[in-house]
Amino acid sequence: MDTVEGRRGGKVLLTIHFVDTSFMLMLLRDYNNSKSVSQWFKWIYDAVGHKEYKTLLFLILTDNGSEFSDPVKIERVNGKDKLSNVFYCYPYSAYLKPEIENNHELIRRIIPKGCSMDHLTQNDIRLVMSHINSYGRKKLNDQSPYDAFSSRYGFKLINALGIEKIDPNDIILKPSLLK
């Protein structure tokens, strides 16, 4: 789990990367704080249910950003049962989660670093997720993260977020995607 910032003080993305499938969630937040992170985890829990949440998010690795400073709200998103385990990387150790950083490079092809995300909606981000998760990966034998994730975990989360499979010939990983 990580954060992708636009302009300082503006909207940001919460990114959740599933290592086994290279699938990445991108969730738009108005503020870069722990409340906005826990709200998205609650949303995921409500969308997929107890069992699926526990399967998908049993282990979460993140950095020490202040937005991740309330692990209990993520681990016990329903207020009672411990559903996840949150672990933190060593400070300044992005190398501990290289695959999410690689996926961030794909985001930056579409939303360059320093560009404001304030005008974007979660619908715009859904479009970005659809294109990035449809892009084939060498690690997956040129299969897309969309296909790998859906065959392993099903479509409940994919459908809840409105992520669609994009034909390989129609994938756009440039700023023009959001124009």
For 73, what's the count of Cα atoms within 13 Å in the CB-facing half-sphere? Answer: 15
Percent of the chain whose predicted confidence (pLDDT) is above 90: 91
98 pLDDT band (50/70/90 cuts)? Answer: confident
- Per-residue pLDDT of 8-41, as tens digits, reads 899 999 999 999 999 999 999 999 999 999 999 9
Query: φ, ψ for residue 124 (rounded to 5)?
Result: -60, -45
* Structural domains of the chain, ranges and CATH numbers in brackets: 2-178 (3.30.420.10)
| Phi-psi region at 53: left, alpha or beta (left = phi > 0; alpha = psi -120 to 50) | alpha
